[in-house]
Structure 1
Amino acid sequence: MKVMLVNGSPHKNGCTHRALAEVAATLDAHGIESEIFWIGAKPAAGCMACGRCRETGACIFDDAVNEFRVLAEQADGFVFGAPVHYAHAASSLMGFMDRLFYSNGKAGAPDVLSFKPAAAIASARRAGTTAALDDMQKFFTISNMPIVSSRYWNMVHGCTPEEVEQDQEGLWTMRQLGRNMAWLLKSLEAGREAGIGLPDREAGSFTSFIR
């Protein structure tokens, strides 16, 4: 089993990476493979809702989003992490997630996200973490993805990785998140081995408030 951890910070080895590394180390200790994927520091466009992914199965912007989609197909769970900017999750990760989730499973391409457990983590100097977590978790709740929680909200504090080291409660929370993710993945695997399949999905219908 494998968990992909997404570093949505423009700083490859900053506070967000330090938090993700704590989760990854805990997953590894419990026999779950992990990989940290950095989305990069280049300016990234948000989703244009152009609909091209419905024709090609991939985002029209061929960058880290499409690169990650290939890796995500082999993943069993995800952790998305971002720093807090102006009391919300960094726009670099939000744009990445907008395009990843919008284009997921389009045009016959594999659905690489649904029914896979996911968690969000936030790093901040001081405040805005719970709003940032809410930003990220909305992607999971609209995508049939079980949310993995911890013993507290999934956050660390500090302006540098060295300061995050001093946030002992934050790192404790990251370790518990890793243990909870490992437990849920193993539970799901046991369910599959016992013959429990995925829930049925109905076609349903899409409406707006005017019809």
Structure 2
Amino acid sequence: MKVLAINSSARKDGNTAILIDHVFQELNKAGIETELVQLAGQIIEPCKACWACQGMKNCVHKKDTFCNTFEKMVEADGILLGSPVYTANVSANMQAFLERAAVVCDMNPGLLTHKAGAAVTAARRGGALQAVDSMNHFFLNHEMYVVGSVYWNMAYGRLPGDVLKDQEGLDNMRNLGRNMAYLMKVLQKDQDVT
């Protein structure tokens, strides 16, 4: 089993990556392989609404890294989306990525069905719930199972490394990782039976 994480922060290895790493630690303890894709330094182009992806199972536009990352999503058993809060929502790269992925999935139903999905966000103060909701809505609209924890999947931090001071947030990330591992193992058993 494998989880692909997409970090849409403009800052490589910043607060969002730290949160993803805390989730990964628990997944790895459970024997689940992990891979992190960081969009820092990249520009994900928005969807062109050309509908050419119908029957293609991926976007036909190849100017950015979307297609490669989307292929990894389809192959993964679980997807972890991470975004910092920018203007009370996800980053522009995450928004563009999710819009394109949504259209490809809409034109090719079933690509992500029954996968486990979880979203995490790093916030200075406000907007974290909107960001988590945006990512969770992507999962829900594509028949995925959303993994939760004991509180919202967020931690506070402004400067790089600040989330390490939010012990409750870090504990929540570890619990999220354990919950995701549990769900993925249940889903795997169910697939083995059918």
2:174 is equivalent to residue 175 of structure 1: yes
Deviates more, 1:169-178 or 1:43-52: 43-52
> Structure 1 residues 156-165 or 145-154, which shifts more?
156-165
Contact 1:52 1:60 in 2 (8 A): yes
Would you say the 8 A contact 2:12–2:40 is kept in 1?
A: yes
> What's the CA shift string for 1:68-106, capped at 9, x where partnerless?
122223210111010101111111101011112211374
Seen in structure 2, the aligned counterparts of structure 1 residues 115 and 55 have a Cα distance that, compared at 3 Å, is: closer
SS where residue 75 of structure 2 aligns?
coil
CA contact (8 A) 2:28 2:34 kept: yes
Larger radius of gyration: 1
Contact 2:6 2:82 in 1 (8 A): yes
| Match of residue 23 from structure 2 | 23
Once the two structures are TM-superposed, the CA of residue 37 in structure 1 deviates from its matched residue by: 1.0
Aligned pair in 2 of structure 1 residues 46, 54: CA closer, same or farther (>3 Å)? Answer: same
Matches for 1:41-190 after TM superposition, within 5 Å: 41-54=41-54, 56-62=56-62, 63-104=64-105, 106=107, 111-190=110-189
CA distance in 1, matches of 2:33, 2:55: 33
> Percentage identity across aligned positions?
36
Amino acid at match of 1:86: T
Q: Mark the runs of 5 or more structure 1 residues left unpaired by the alignment.
A: 196-211
**RMSD of the TM alignment (CA)?**
1.7
Partner of 1:206: none
Q: Is the 8 A contact 1:14 1:161 kept in 2?
A: yes
CA deviations 1:113-155 (Å, max 9, x no partner) are: 1210101111111111001111111111111001000110000
Aligned length: 193
Check whether the contact 2:2–2:34 (CA below 8 A) recurs between aligned residues: yes
Q: Normalising by structure 1, what TM-score?
A: 0.85
Identify the residue that residue 200 of structure 1 maps to in structure 2. none
Within 2, Cα distance between the matches of 1:193 and 1:43? 39
Q: Which runs of at least 4 in structure 1 moved beyond 4 Å after TM superposition?
A: none
TM-score, with length taken from structure 2: 0.92
In 2, distance between residues paired with 1:118 and 1:153? Answer: 14
Higher relative contact order (CA 8 A, sep 6+): 2
Once residues 169 and 190 of structure 1 are traced to their aligned partners in structure 2, the CA distance between those partners, rounded to angstroms, is 32
Contact kept, 8 Å, 1:122 with 1:133, in 2: the verdict is: yes
